[in-house]
């Protein structure tokens, strides 16, 4: 008796499943938000399944998302005449939806020019008294390394160990004790950041750009960024808001563009805080005090003609936004945030500047909602992220 081909039988069965799913979708006619999510997820998995059947190396449909993070940072700066000097270090622990725990340790040094008029005394994250008009241009050189760890306890041990001096015997003892609970570096980067900022009372803004290089993969990223914030403090009430934007292009080790990233974030005290592009999902992102929204979009620049299309759209931001939305991967999340700042500092500016500030900041955030825009044109929940959160 002749046996049938296993691969041939699997192919026939797979085609039958695709046909059945197509019939079910056609008969259903319309879907609720959850139904759209199921449909979009099923289509995505079918595409990946077909890719596997064809023998290609097929990535997972969704990259893991950040479900929570906790960070600490220490910074100092000194203004003397027109010169500003500063430095700082930070440690960030991230929890991903696929169960990974990542620890990033980063340091930076700052050098720039500053000037303005006025005086202030700062305690915590608020002005104790005074006001000023100021402007600054700053260059920051940084470097950092990311590791994968098995649990939060190991993350704490790693941070304490790596912050010790290499001449301290406890540094080497700590590394030996960590053993296999810590991976080798996942990423190791160096960066330069150029930033120009100005403030007039409660209103502040900044523009800048820079670049970074992953020393392990050879990938380079260049970016432009901007931000604006308003901080209103009165005896009876307080308010304000902030908006940050960033556009980045990543190059492979051969300096060929591979990815365009658009990143935006802002306060989310009310649904009206969301940009018009995100209003369709306003009802699915919890708003309130200490809530933020974050949009992250990626566009594959390796597709034929994609790079030229992006360049032609740079003068038309709305056209570029629709290109990213229609042809890229787009996610928008909302987070609950908590931040504590222990800072003390003061400045006197009359053209020249004299003063300084030191600060210690702890911050954390946790995922409240996660939505993605599918190639089929739907905004649907990222259930894998929400379940992990």
Tokens of 68: 């929570």
The whole-number pLDDT of residue 24 equals: 47
Q: What is the pLDDT of residue 337?
A: 94
Does 141 share its domain with 285? yes
**185 DSSP 8-state letter:** P
Contact 367, 65 (CB under 8 A): yes
3-state secondary structure of 162: helix
What's the rounded Cα separation, in Å, for the pair 12 and 15? Answer: 5
Assess whether 24 and 71 both reside in one domain.
no
**Sign, CA torsion 248/97/338/346:** negative
pLDDT of residue 84: 84
43 with 72, same domain? no
Helix (H, G, I), strand (E, B) or coil at 237: coil
- Report how many domains make up the chain: 2
pLDDT tens-digit readout, 122-140: 666 655 555 666 677 889 9
- Band (141; pLDDT cuts 50, 70, 90): very high
Question: Does residue 13 carry a pLDDT above 60?
Answer: no
More confident residue, 22 or 215: 215
- Among all chains, which residue has been given the structure tokens 């018009």? 276
User: How many CB atoms within 10 Å of residue 341?
Assistant: 15
Q: Round to whole Å and give the CA distance between 18 and 30.
A: 19
The answer on 86 and 17 residing in a single domain is: no
- Contact in structure between 178 and 157 (CB atoms under 8 Å): yes
SS3 string, 2-39, reads CCCCHHHHHHHHHHHHHHHHHHHHHHHCCCCHHHHHHH
Contact 182, 158 (CB under 8 A): yes
User: Does the pLDDT at position 37 exceed 80?
Assistant: no
For the chain, how are helix, strand and coil distributed in percent, rounded to 5?
25, 50, 20
Res. 321 pLDDT band, cuts 50 70 90:
confident
- Residue 170 has phi, psi (to 5 degrees) of -70, -20
**110 vs 6, higher pLDDT:** 110
The H-or-E segment that residue 139 falls in is: strand 126-149
Average pLDDT of the chain, as a whole number: 81
Across residues 69-77, what is the average pLDDT?
94
Mean pLDDT computed over 32-37 = 46
Largest CA distance in the chain: 97
Task: Please name the residues in contact with 325: beta carbons below 8 A apart, sequence gap of 6 or more.
Answer: 277, 297, 373
Q: What is the pLDDT of residue 32?
A: 42
Domain end call among 32, 53, 74: 53
Please report the sign of the dihedral spanned by the C-alpha atoms of residue 264, residue 269, residue 270, residue 273.
negative
Domain that holds residue 26: 6-53
The model's confidence at residue 150, banded by pLDDT at 50, 70 and 90, is: very high
In a domain, 241, yes or no: yes
Q: Output the pTM of the full model.
A: 0.79
User: Please, which pLDDT band fits residue 98 given cuts at 50, 70 and 90?
Assistant: very high
The C-alpha torsion from 276 through 280 and 284 to 289, rounded to 10°, is: 10
Asked whether residue 34 falls in the same domain as residue 100, the answer is: no
| Mean pLDDT value of segment 150-173 | 92
Let me know whether 21 and 70 are in one domain: no
- Specify whether 41 is located in the same domain as 137: no
Is residue 107 domain-resident?
yes
Distance from the Cα of residue 18 to its chain's centroid: 36
Instruction: Answer yes or no: is 1 within a domain.
Output: no
**How large a percentage of the chain has pLDDT more than 90?**
43
CB atoms within 10 A of CB 382: 22
Residue 125 is assigned to a structural domain of this protein: yes
Look up residue 284 and give its two tokens.
């699915």
pLDDT at residue 197, rounded to an integer: 86
Same domain, 212 and 318: yes
Contact of 116 with 132, CB cutoff 8 Å:
yes
13 and 92 housed in the same domain = no
Tell me the C-alpha distance between 178 and 342, whole Å: 31
More confident residue, 10 or 208: 208
**Confidence category of residue 377, pLDDT binned at 50, 70, 90:** confident
Question: What is the CA 294 to chain-centroid distance, rounded?
Answer: 8
Query: Same domain for 158 and 14?
Result: no
Give the up-direction half-sphere exposure of residue 356: CA atoms within 13 A in the CB hemisphere.
9
44 and 97 co-located in one domain: no
pLDDT above 70 as % of the chain: 75
pLDDT band at 312 (very low <50, low <70, confident <90, very high): confident
Same domain? 34 vs 77: no
Are the C-beta atoms of residues 202 and 189 closer than 8 Å to each other? no
For residue 193, is pLDDT > 80? yes
Cα–Cα–Cα angle for 349, 355, 357, rounded to 5 degrees: 130
Q: Which of 247-256, 267-276, 345-354 has the lowest mean pLDDT?
A: 345-354
pLDDT of residue 4: 44
pLDDT attached to residue 95: 97
Cβ atoms of 245 and 263 closer than 8 Å? yes
More confident residue, 359 or 125: 359
Q: Is residue 60 part of a domain?
A: no
Is 383 a member of any domain? yes
- Residue 61: inside a domain: no
Confirm whether 38 is domain-assigned.
yes
- pLDDT value at 107 more than 50: yes
DSSP, collapsed to helix, strand or coil, labels residue 63 as coil
């Amino acid at each position: 008796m002749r046996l049938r081909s296993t691969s041939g039988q699997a192919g026939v069965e797979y085609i039958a499943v695709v046909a059945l799913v197509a019939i079910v979708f056609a008969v259903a006619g319309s879907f609720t938000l959850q139904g759209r999510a199921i449909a979009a997820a099923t289509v995505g998995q079918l595409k990946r399944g077909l890719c596997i059947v064809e023998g290609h190396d097929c990535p997972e449909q969704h990259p893991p998302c950040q479900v929570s993070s906790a960070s600490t940072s220490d910074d100092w700066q000194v203004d003397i005449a027109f010169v500003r000097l500063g430095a700082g270090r930070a440690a960030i622990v991230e929890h991903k939806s696929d169960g990974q725990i990542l620890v990033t340790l980063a340091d930076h040094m700052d050098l720039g020019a500053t000037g303005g008029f006025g005086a202030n005394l700062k305690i915590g994250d608020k002005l104790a008294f005074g006001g000023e008009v100021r402007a600054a241009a700053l260059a920051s050189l940084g470097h950092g390394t990311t590791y994968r760890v098995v649990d939060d306890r190991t993350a704490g041990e790693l941070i304490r160990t790596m912050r010790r001096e290499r001449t301290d015997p406890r540094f080497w003892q700590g590394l030996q004790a960590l053993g296999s609970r810590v991976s080798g570096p996942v990423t190791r980067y160096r960066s330069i950041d150029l930033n120009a900022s100005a403030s007039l009372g409660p209103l502040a803004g900044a523009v800048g750009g820079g670049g970074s290089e992953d020393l392990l993969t050879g990938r380079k990223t260049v970016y432009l960024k901007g931000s604006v914030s308003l901080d209103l403090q009165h005896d009876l009430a307080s308010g304000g808001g902030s908006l940050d934007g960033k556009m980045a292009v990543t190059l492979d080790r051969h300096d060929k563009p591979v990815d365009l990233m658009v990143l935006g974030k802002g306060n989310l005290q009310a649904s009206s805080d969301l940009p018009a592009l995100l209003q369709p999902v306003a009802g699915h992102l919890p708003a309130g005090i200490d809530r933020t929204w974050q949009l992250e979009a990626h566009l594959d620049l390796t597709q034929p003609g994609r790079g030229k299309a992006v360049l032609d759209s740079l003068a038309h931001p709305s056209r570029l936004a629709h290109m990213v939305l229609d042809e890229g991967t787009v996610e928008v999340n909302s987070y609950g945030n908590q931040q504590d700042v222990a800072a003390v500092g003061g400045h006197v500016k009359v053209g020249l500047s004299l003063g300084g500030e030191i600060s210690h900041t702890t911050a954390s955030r946790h995922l409240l909602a996660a939505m993605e825009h599918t190639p089929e044109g739907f905004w649907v929940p990222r259930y894998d992220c929400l379940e992990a959160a």
